[in-house]
């Protein structure tokens, strides 16, 4: 299992305040940690002003060029009127470094979480993603990796197999299941359109906020090149109503940008990829003390039996999105 020293041990409350003040702001020393697993995010009070959100990027995950590329597209989207939470600029910069941590600041967004399966909200989500994809139609990332699903599945499953978390009694069945998933993935990708474009990359419900001015899209930390459907399918919350939910999403999307429905066949690929990669991500981050607290059942056999069972069900349901 992983024993590497976790990267946030040096991110003390004083370091947070010092980082914020290093850009020329004056803090009132109030800070409140916000829900974030991969990075660390805080609301920090500012003297005689509204509090700001400061995001500290996980060390050694992205280069400064990769983070700046994220910032550049967010500023471009904001200029075009797309509702996103863009980084603030100080002295002509949006990305800063303090004591080994890259960080950025944004305005605090006030709103409420979205409700799973709400058809009106799904239409609005589709609209916002359609706006995003229309505005970035010609955008090409230069520094962000274009992750291939089959390679990501292979890499993540290998990490799981060598991590020590998967019970030995499940290993043989898991290996066979991964091979079946990879075969299905290859076949599905060969028969689907291959138009790669800029995507948010992690567009689930928690990365959207319902404000008085409409939806706001948050956290482009995983933005990259990919397929349009990858920004849509995570909003399908009920397998029994998936056709209706997809219909609302696509109808909203196509009010701003065309959608190739052949991409729906790829949902099975991306669902399996995310399921496998998610468990590998927890295993890889286990040395971060936040992870054992957030995922206390990860080391138990029940977790892994559920993981394998869910993957088996995905294989059984493969090819039923259209």
Q: What is the pLDDT of residues 21-62, one digit of tens each?
A: 999 999 999 999 998 889 999 999 999 999 999 999 999 999
Residue 240 — very low, low, confident or very high, per pLDDT cuts 50/70/90?
confident
pLDDT reported for residue 175:
97
Q: What is the pLDDT of residues 165-175, one digit of tens each?
A: 999 999 999 99
Is residue 186 assigned to a domain? yes
Average pLDDT of every residue of the chain? 94
- Measure the CA–CA gap between 266 and 264, rounded to whole angstroms: 5
Sheet of strand 101-107: strand arrangement: 27-34, 40-46, 52-56, 101-107, 96-98
- The catalytic residue among 202, 265, 268, 288 is 202
Do 194 and 307 fall into the same domain? Answer: yes
- pLDDT value of position 322: 81
**Section 123-127 average pLDDT:** 98
Give yes or no: residues 200 and 99 share one domain.
no
Q: Mean pLDDT over residues 229-244, rounded?
A: 92
> Cα(103)–Cα(18) distance, rounded to whole angstroms?
12
Q: Where does the pLDDT of residue 5 fall: very low under 50, low under 70, confident under 90, or very high at 90 and above?
A: low
Could you list the residue range(s) of the whole structural domain that residue 37 is in? 13-107
101 near 56, Cβ under 8 Å?
Answer: yes
Total domains, the chain: 2
Residue 1 confidence class, pLDDT cut points 50, 70, 90: very low
202 belongs to the catalytic site = yes
Q: What is the C-alpha to C-alpha distance for residues 286 and 300, in angstroms, rounded to an integer? A: 14
Residue of 219, 221, 231, 288 with catalytic role: 219
- Decide if 264 contacts 246 (C-beta within 8 A): yes
CATH of residue 33: 3.30.200.70
The answer to whether 213 is a known ligand-binding residue is no
Query: Do the Cβ atoms of 153 and 178 come closer than 8 Å?
Result: yes
Are residues 25 and 44 in contact, defined by beta-carbon separation less than 8 angstroms? no
Predicted pLDDT at 37: 87
Strand pairing report for 40-46 and 52-56: antiparallel
240 catalytic per annotation: no
- Indicate whether 196 and 96 sit together in one domain: no
């Amino acid at each position: 299992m992983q024993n590497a020293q976790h990267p946030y041990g040096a991110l003390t409350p004083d370091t947070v305040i010092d980082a914020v003040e290093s850009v020329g702001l004056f803090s009132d020393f109030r800070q409140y940690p916000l829900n974030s697993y991969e990075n660390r995010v805080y609301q920090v009070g500012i003297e005689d002003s509204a509090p700001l959100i400061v995001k500290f990027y996980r060390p050694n995950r992205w280069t400064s060029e990769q983070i700046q590329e994220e910032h550049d597209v967010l500023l471009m989207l904001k200029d075009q009127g797309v509702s996103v939470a863009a980084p603030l600029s100080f002295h002509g910069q949006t990305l800063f470094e303090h004591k080994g941590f890259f960080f950025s600041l944004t305005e605090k967004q006030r709103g409420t979480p979205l409700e799973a399966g709400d058809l009106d909200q799904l239409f609005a989500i589709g609209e916002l993603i359609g706006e995003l994809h229309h505005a970035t139609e010609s955008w090409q990332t230069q520094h962000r990796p274009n992750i291939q699903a089959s390679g990501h599945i292979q890499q993540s499953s290998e990490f799981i197999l060598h991590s020590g978390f998967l019970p030995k009694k499940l290993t043989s069945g898991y290996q066979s299941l991964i091979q079946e998933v990879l075969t299905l993935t290859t076949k599905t990708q060969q028969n689907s359109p291959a138009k790669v474009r800029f995507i948010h990359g992690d567009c689930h419900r928690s990365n959207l906020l319902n404000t008085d001015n409409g939806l706001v899209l948050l956290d482009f930390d995983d933005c990259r090149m990919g397929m349009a459907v990858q920004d849509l399918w995570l909003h399908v919350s009920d397998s029994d109503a998936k056709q209706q939910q997809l219909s609302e999403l696509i109808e909203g999307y196509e009010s701003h940008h065309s959608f190739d429905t052949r991409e729906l066949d790829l949902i099975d690929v991306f669902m399996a990829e995310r399921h496998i990669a998610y468990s590998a991500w927890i295993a890889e981050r286990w040395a971060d003390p936040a992870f054992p607290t957030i995922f206390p059942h990860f080391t138990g056999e029940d977790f892994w039996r559920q993981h394998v069972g869910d993957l088996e069900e995905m294989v059984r349901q493969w090819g039923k999105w259209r």
